[in-house]
Structure 1
């Protein structure tokens, strides 16, 4: 046995199908398995049950609880992971009849976020989400808390606070929120500076593991962490992207979305996703090779609406075209491209498409500059998309035309020149 396998915790997964298609529960449990593996776990068994509604006391019915006890005796797992968020009473009741550590989908996602957070803000947000998740679950959890000696579902900034009382945790939440407000204030100042500089901003968004970071690195020649696992990126990273015309925009790589993203997490990470709300354009990256890509796409659109981002112009980029299914089709009524992030020609085509979409939000300008206005010419090259630049020798002047943002500072120079020429 390798060290890598030795370090993995054995896990049993438990899911309930509620009037859903077989495909949906299968995809949901596959995702839970991928999340478990991302958290350094090894799935040894999966238990499912068809029910009209979740059992209020134990999530699954009495017969299935007995089946789960038998599976636990057979496999001796370190952790049992439930596919939905457990109520405090469900967790307590299950803990009375099961020996392994019990966690739910929310705790698993929080655990992965705790591993991924690198920035101070990311760590604080994970800590806040963990504390808010724990607070209503403290009462009567002595048995469960005594087992939390480490492992999946127990990692991260919040773990040392698990055995404190409610008042202490409330104080802790208030302190984390205070620190987060300070971090957010600094980021708001930075964003305000970017707005004043009138920089066009693009955000890469999409379902987790769609290939956002890979594409981000190819477009911006950056070093965002990329790996074939869920939630590889947590902290937003912003880099410059140079478009074919020479115009620079800012591009941000963001945390991936997922079905049934815990509400605690959406609330806690809202400030991170506010970065997306500042964007002038969204690139929605979809893994076109995934059998459930249509549901992933719909999940992201639903979260767009929840986070009030659905007003921002967006383009869908279907990634991993080399592995697409024969029946692949794009959702109707949208601007889209099918690419491979590893194909340099596709990357160039995407840059051109981004520039075309950006120009749709800009206004056309024409201006004539004298040959001694070199610094002003350089400013136009930096802050506008130049489509024509001609030097007229007999007049010793530059004829310049292109596109600029509606509220760009260079509009002032254009008006000034127009007034001078009119006079």
Structure 2
């Protein structure tokens, strides 16, 4: 099915006394816009529990039908993941295509996936979602990387008659096999990076909080000549791929910085599982920097969602800096401002902010640095070059016995060069 362009839709949901229901609906509207759809009306109903058969109550269904006719809406997008029977019953009652929150997010991911790895992850998640929703005897367009309203037609496609449950299960198994092969390659790269003893930092957080902007700002500030920036745009899920870049501080201290896929409330479980490999950069990091959109009135809830998603991914016990971004968009906010040992209010487009963030990262990563004096023979000059590249050299002189050098080094480097240490 072709991607829907400027389709008029209604959005809605059932509030079961959730404290953040209205912010969820506002987020649903942004997700809808991100999928090139125009929101022409919003419906909401307060119930203790959703109606098992139709999600909404019968009175609300009549109201929705009338509103859809008035607004010329072509679809109804709902804030929860619905059961196959709920979707079927709603479509029969309302005579409208129903898109639940999970299907909408899968559509956005399908349209944004660029790398082969991201495309595989999205396709696996999409097939897992569609598997229990196949309708026997119904011929429908079921594209290789599409599948339903809002999905892009990116393959020749197969009908549901051809792609029965067994075929889909086999396809999922095949895709997992291919993805695991790619994961082995990614794991090998991670192991190679770990052998260099360069610490790693992962940017995590809600989608569109400013992770890519923060990464690019640090690259431009500290690596202006060699910086290869990452894609950034003010939109939900601007990128699905994890990018890794090396940052070199003025002290010659280096760390690897990764920009991970953004989180969102009610992120489909299929996507969480499929993207687990992409988020391995965060799981193996020495430090996490959670970027939070401080200008959003619901920033505290967004931070809770990020923390909950990290727990779901079993990413725990890793030191974290809470970086409250976009302070420049919040009138009256002083920035940059370090409000605690691990808390920073900043703006990713402000150099002073980025310098303070880098100082906090350096303090967290290199807290074990000690000042050590070395006397390195001229025949071992490779270690002089090593220290000048990997340590903060405070002084360097020459004598008849070799190079006398004082530097701030990690415990690992001190042990590696122990035979050259000058005892004072």
TM-score, normalised by the number of residues in structure 1: 0.89
- Mapped to 2, the partners of 1:302 and 1:361 lie a distance apart of 30
Distance 1:162 1:288, change over 3 A: farther
Q: Which residue of 2 aligns with 1:269?
A: 275
Q: Higher mean Cα deviation, 88-97 or 216-225?
A: 216-225
Q: Higher mean Cα deviation, 30-39 or 74-83?
A: 74-83
Q: Deviations over 1:52-88 (max 9, x none)?
A: 0011111111111111111221222232111000101
Q: Deviations over 1:210-256 (max 9, x none)?
A: 01111111112332111111111211111111212122211111111
1:55-70 equivalences under 5 Å are 55-70=51-66
1:186-265 equivalences under 5 Å are 186-221=185-220, 222-265=228-271
CA RMSD of aligned residues (A): 2.8
2:420 to 407, 417, 421: 417
Say whether 1:82 aligns with 2:73.
no
1:88-107 equivalences under 5 Å are 88-107=84-103
Q: Which is richer in helix?
A: 1
| Unaligned 5+ runs, structure 2 | 221-227
Say whether 1:153 aligns with 2:150.
yes
Please say if residues 391 and 399 of structure 1, whose CA atoms lie closer than 8 Å, have aligned partners that are also in contact: yes
TM-score, normalised by the number of residues in structure 2: 0.88
Please say if residues 10 and 40 of structure 2, whose CA atoms lie closer than 8 Å, have aligned partners that are also in contact: yes
Tell me by how many angstroms 1:117 deviates. Answer: 1.0
Q: Which residue of 2 aligns with 1:320?
A: 326
Please say if residues 342 and 360 of structure 2, whose CA atoms lie closer than 8 Å, have aligned partners that are also in contact: no
Please say if residues 127 and 156 of structure 1, whose CA atoms lie closer than 8 Å, have aligned partners that are also in contact: no
Please say if residues 142 and 157 of structure 2, whose CA atoms lie closer than 8 Å, have aligned partners that are also in contact: no
Instruction: For residue 128 of structure 1, give the secondary structure of its aligned residue in structure 2.
Output: helix
Q: Deviations over 1:145-197 (max 9, x none)?
A: 46999874333668935622111101110110010011001111111111112
- Mapped to 2, the partners of 1:64 and 1:209 lie a distance apart of 33
Aligned length: 408
Q: Which residue of 2 aligns with 1:43?
A: 39
- Mapped to 1, the partners of 2:246 and 2:403 lie a distance apart of 31
2:352 to 332, 337, 345: 345
Please say if residues 14 and 46 of structure 1, whose CA atoms lie closer than 8 Å, have aligned partners that are also in contact: yes
Please say if residues 202 and 257 of structure 2, whose CA atoms lie closer than 8 Å, have aligned partners that are also in contact: yes
Tell me by how many angstroms 1:92 deviates. Answer: 0.8
Q: Deviations over 1:125-145 (max 9, x none)?
A: 0000000001111145838x4
- Mapped to 1, the partners of 2:64 and 2:399 lie a distance apart of 85
Please say if residues 125 and 271 of structure 2, whose CA atoms lie closer than 8 Å, have aligned partners that are also in contact: yes
| Unaligned 5+ runs, structure 1 | 1-5
- Mapped to 1, the partners of 2:107 and 2:300 lie a distance apart of 27
- Mapped to 2, the partners of 1:313 and 1:58 lie a distance apart of 45
Please say if residues 115 and 156 of structure 1, whose CA atoms lie closer than 8 Å, have aligned partners that are also in contact: no
Tell me by how many angstroms 1:389 deviates. Answer: 2.4
Q: Deviations over 1:262-284 (max 9, x none)?
A: 11111111111112111111111
